[in-house]
Structure 1
Amino acid sequence: MSARKVPAAAGTPQQSDPKRPSPDPTTSHPHGGTTLRAGTQLGLLVTLVIAVLSYQLNTTMVTPALPDIGRSFAVSEGTLALVSSLFFLAGAVAGILLTRWSDFLGRTRMLLAVLVILLVGTLVCAFAPNFPIFVAGRVLQGVSGAVFQLAYMILSESVSPALLGTMLGIISAANGGVGGLDGWLGGILTDRFGFQAIFFVIAGLTAVAIFLTARTLPAQKRPATTGKMDWWGGGLLSLSLIFLTYYVNIGGTRGWLTPASLALFGVAVLFFGAFCVAERRVSSPLFALRHLASRHCWPLIATTLLSLASVFAVINFTVALFAQNSEAGYGLEAGRAALLYLTPPALIGLAAAPLSGWLAGKIGWLTVLRTGLAVSLCAIGGIWLFLEHRWIVFALIALLGITYNGMILTTVNGLGVILAPPEAPGSLPGLNGAAFGVGASLGIGLVAPLVGTWGGYRGALALSAGIAGAALLCACVLKMRTDS
């Protein structure tokens, strides 16, 4: 179902050239990359998995270490929140800029650059003498968030359409870490050696990723597009995203219509308006407005944002809190609640994501996405209906591991690459990637004021179901490309 034309599948017999002493392990790609043959595809996949895990472990392994970080630097819980918030914000901004810049610089060179930045940031965190320097290291680590979008684009330009879905699903599965085992390992390392041990482990893995990237991934022989990077547009859109993110964070705690919240939202709209004006005046825009307004782009961004705002909030916030609430919920200890309602969808997603990618290649990316959203909506409705039955909720949360962690996340990531404008292949993956962080923050910000009582949790689930319905509507508007 991929609408982008990709060269013949790896391993397709090529006409021999008597002047060449040996065949080249790759064939040329229309966007300047290479289509790898069967013998090197496994090495490519292993390299990209290690690269994305080098980034992802900075979220899953660091989370259980946050209390120790706070004690070590003697900072409050409110200040400690910067460890995660600035990390994700840097990733969203860098994802927009660096994926588009890779159209001009080359995917492999950009991936090497972000991995080197990740290594530097990780070592800064490991040796930081104070909290400000530690946060600076986290920002550098966050910049490497573009590794996921770069990995998806490298796959789309290096493997056949028949393999793209499955391999992309494997990469997407790494988005949740290692099925909860990484979080457990992070806690063990922190308890025995201190939080610094986590960063030494991640630094070692990142060094391996850099070595494998330099040795395994082919370099682009020519840019994926012509022109030059639109830094003005990138800066304006990044500023709009920054203020929008802070609006979502502050609005969820202080009120969406308070003067401070509205001021942040107004500034975000102002910068986005300036971005739209700037994009009309450059020859190589960051994201051409005609594409952004098409059914190939904005519905995908909206679907991604709303999916995260609905299902992510149900799994990682509403049900997680309800399970531990001793008055309105099940009153479980934190460890048991996580074992029952967080670990199953993560583990199931590890298997469901590659299968979803394979299925998308067989029956269509949009079909898998819409089916995943429809079943997720039904699952959220079931949780609302049977909230008092913990084992029914357990089963429905496990189902979301298939539909959300598998079907939805795999397809929105894949469609970000497949539906990107041919003349700017890095534009849509970057903007779609930014929608992940904004959507997750928005969903928690919307439902957080409701939780706490039985009716409040049910109200939060009802709101999440409504948002999931809106995501399904956007997915139904989304259209595959037929012009590339």
Structure 2
Amino acid sequence: MSQTRTSPPQAHERSRSTTRNVLVVVALVWTVQLVALVAALSGVAQADIAIHFRTTDIAWFTLMTLLTGTFFLPFAVKAAALFGKKRVLLVATGLGFVGDLVAAFATDYRTLLIGRGIAGVYAATAPIAYAITRDVFPRRWVGLASGLLAGGVGLVAFGGPFLAGWLLDGYGFRGVLWFMAISTAASFVLVAAFVPESPVREAGGRMDWIGGLLLGGGITAIVYAVGQGSQWGWGSAEFAAYIAGALITLVAFVLVERRVADPLFPPSMTRRRPVWTVLLATSVAAGSLSAVGVVMQMLVLMPKIPTISEGLGWSGTRNAVVTSPISAMIIVAAVGTGLLVRRVDARILLGTGSALTVLGYGIGTHLHHNAAQIVEMGLIAGLGTGMVVAVVPIMIIEVVTPEEQALANGVQTLGQGVAQIVVSQLAFVVMAQHGRILKGTQFYLDTGFTNGLWLVVGCCALGALLVLLIPRTKRLDEAEVGQAA
């Protein structure tokens, strides 16, 4: 008589749990890294878009997404804390898909910007995904999942240029826009199918609409003023009025937050020194690195036209080939940082990573005229970039409670977005001081690219110095995690 063997119930349950956790990780990694992938694709496509639509305002192709994402982010993270993180993930992803469709069908630059603006709401998915990771995984999975979510930027950096080159060279910028729409739809399906709802909620809270409008309005006014400053004049009445109005609005936001029963970001969280110093340092360090693509993509993809443009004139495919070693370095650094963070103080890792980006891009201010020089600069800066992006989400877990996680991630993403927007806008302004306009398109000379890189170096150096403000905190292994596990 044959006998049938069955696996022990515990072993079978562990196998099912592992499979489920892997699927959740895949869904969340796709959701988080799609933000980075879209940013990479946008950077590669912006030169062709500027030439096609004959616009000197190409900065807004990228910044429109950042601007609306930053404006809606406070509402999204507060809604996630009140109504459930998975629900808000699905809403943000659905709106992102609608915006991608509008952009893909756009026949004029204004409609394209409207679509990118709607799609910007998708940016809120990243901090919420990091927060849900803390809630739905058992302790042994939290560090691994957080590292994979952050380290995935290396995979995007590695494969993104090849994908962008294939799309741009074969299908033009329209192919890039349609890929964004298809990818966002895939993100919606993955989250709906595999990601469980987090049980961690803010009990009895309300949406702080007034605070959100004041915060979003103030930030929007600053970004718009910086973007228009070169046209208005930095000493003009228009620029001064926008900056003054923004500062008044942000002061009003602080006063409102002190009085309302359910503030957008609780002062009890943001006043703690470990929290606000981590948020400040990581926002400046990561935001500055996010903005460097503005300079580098224009440098390598803009054509070389005597006395008009001194870009390298590479195709999207050549850009991917040359920068692939840099992308590999980001992956190695991110994985290595994820392993080291249990043994090395996270402050040391953040400071070291920021210092390496200063060194790499500092070298690039003088050596950026051929492929060998781009690789030399990128390997050093890529090592630092991988360290910074991997350690940021772990540092936030170390300084806040599970109930504060979504809000803290939101504050960090908001700060990083503001830093990225301001540095990106200033980079375009700085580069345009040494450039030419030909047939409605802004081109840049070598001095413009050099000054743009110096701007990035200065901002990365500021991020490294801010690490000195962070006090010693508990390690990842000591943090409270796994509420839903």
- Pair in the same fold by TM > 0.5: yes
Q: What range is the shorter-chain TM-score in?
A: 0.7 to 0.9
> What amino acid does structure 1 have at the position aligned with 2:122?
S
Find the aligned partners of 1:107 and 1:161 in 2 and give their Cα distance: 19
Residue 324 of structure 2 corresponds to residue 346 of structure 1: no
Find the aligned partners of 1:293 and 1:315 in 2 and give their Cα distance: 33
Task: Determine which of 87, 95, 98 is the counterpart of 2:76.
Answer: 98
Identity rate, percent: 23
Find the aligned partners of 1:48 and 1:119 in 2 and give their Cα distance: 17
The normalised TM-score by structure 1 is 0.78
Residue 457 of structure 2 corresponds to residue 477 of structure 1: no
Q: Secondary structure at the match of 2:430?
A: coil
- Measured after TM superposition, the shift of residue 214 of structure 1 is 2.0
Q: Deviations over 1:389-441 (max 9, x none)?
A: 9846632421111112x111222233344434655332221121122332233
Q: Secondary structure at the match of 1:178?
A: helix
> What amino acid does structure 2 have at the position aligned with 1:355?
G
Q: Map 1:55-454 onto structure 2 (within 5 A).
A: 55-66=35-46, 75-78=53-56, 81-128=59-106, 131-175=109-153, 178-179=156-157, 181-190=159-168, 192-193=170-171, 195-221=173-199, 223-251=201-229, 255-308=233-286, 310-312=288-290, 316-317=294-295, 321=299, 332-335=312-315, 338=319, 342-383=323-364, 391=372, 394-404=375-385, 406-420=386-400, 423-446=403-426, 448-449=429-430, 452=434
Q: Secondary structure at the match of 2:259?
A: coil
> What amino acid does structure 2 have at the position aligned with 1:400?
A
Find the aligned partners of 1:158 and 1:266 in 2 and give their Cα distance: 44
Match of 1:41? 21
Q: Secondary structure at the match of 1:118?
A: helix
1:181–1:206 distance in 2 versus 1, CA, 3 Å: same
> What amino acid does structure 2 have at the position aligned with 1:469?
A
- Measured after TM superposition, the shift of residue 231 of structure 1 is 1.7
Q: Deviations over 1:101-141 (max 9, x none)?
A: 20111111111111222222223333446555443322221
1:213–1:346 distance in 2 versus 1, CA, 3 Å: same
Measured on the aligned residues, the alpha-carbon RMSD in Å equals: 3.9
Match of 1:4? none
How many residue pairs were aligned? 452
Q: Deviations over 1:273-309 (max 9, x none)?
A: 1111111111221112343343223323332343256
User: Is the contact made by 1:61 and 1:184 (CA closer than 8 Å) also made in structure 2?
Assistant: no
User: Is the contact made by 2:208 and 2:262 (CA closer than 8 Å) also made in structure 1?
Assistant: yes
Q: Secondary structure at the match of 1:286?
A: coil
User: Is the contact made by 1:114 and 1:147 (CA closer than 8 Å) also made in structure 2?
Assistant: yes
Instruction: Give 1 or 2: higher helix fraction.
Output: 2
User: Is the contact made by 1:166 and 1:356 (CA closer than 8 Å) also made in structure 2?
Assistant: no
User: Is the contact made by 2:165 and 2:315 (CA closer than 8 Å) also made in structure 1?
Assistant: no
Find the aligned partners of 1:202 and 1:211 in 2 and give their Cα distance: 15
User: Is the contact made by 2:161 and 2:319 (CA closer than 8 Å) also made in structure 1?
Assistant: no
User: Is the contact made by 1:252 and 1:446 (CA closer than 8 Å) also made in structure 2?
Assistant: no
- Measured after TM superposition, the shift of residue 464 of structure 1 is 4.3
Find the aligned partners of 2:456 and 2:114 in 1 and give their Cα distance: 34
